[in-house]
């Protein structure tokens, strides 16, 4: 486990529910997918290392949890504006998702 953090540090994270509107393999990386997600009314691209665990077409229309206030980055030539939340136990990777439909942009508390 990592060292404890204060609640004010945790409160800096902006976690939201997003709906995946498109997904495709990253053209320059074998383990990455490019996801277009809707958060509130905005669309953003997120790059996620889940290519070996999910087929792109199965993700479209599903909801996921994303960190939206992560500093933007360019990963292998593609922009990423956020981070998809997932859990892993070594071999398997599982996306964190709401258990019923939510409004895109709903705040995770």
| Mean pLDDT per 10-residue interval, the chain, length 109 residues | 96 98 95 96 95 95 98 95 94 94 95
The span from the CA of 68 to the CA of 14, in Å, is: 6
> In the prediction, which pLDDT does 87 show?
96
Angle of CA points 107, 92, 11, to nearest 5°: 25
Q: Specify the DSSP class assigned to residue 28.
A: T
> In the prediction, which pLDDT does 9 show?
95
Fold of 7-95: OB fold (Dihydrolipoamide Acetyltransferase, E2P) (2.40.50)
> In the prediction, which pLDDT does 105 show?
97
pTM reported for the whole predicted model: 0.93
> In the prediction, which pLDDT does 68 show?
97
> In the prediction, which pLDDT does 91 show?
84
């Amino acid at each position: 486990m990592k060292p404890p953090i204060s609640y004010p540090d945790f409160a800096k994270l902006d976690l939201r529910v997003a709906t995946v509107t498109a997904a495709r393999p990253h053209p320059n990386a074998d383990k990455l997918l490019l996801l277009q997600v809707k958060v509130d009314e905005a669309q953003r691209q997120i790059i996620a290392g889940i290519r070996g665990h999910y087929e792109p077409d199965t993700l479209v229309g599903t909801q996921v949890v994303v960190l939206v206030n992560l500093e933007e980055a360019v990963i292998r030539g593609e922009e990423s504006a956020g981070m998809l939340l997932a859990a892993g136990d070594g071999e398997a990777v599982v996306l964190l998702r709401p258990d019923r439909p939510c409004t895109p942009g709903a705040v995770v508390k």
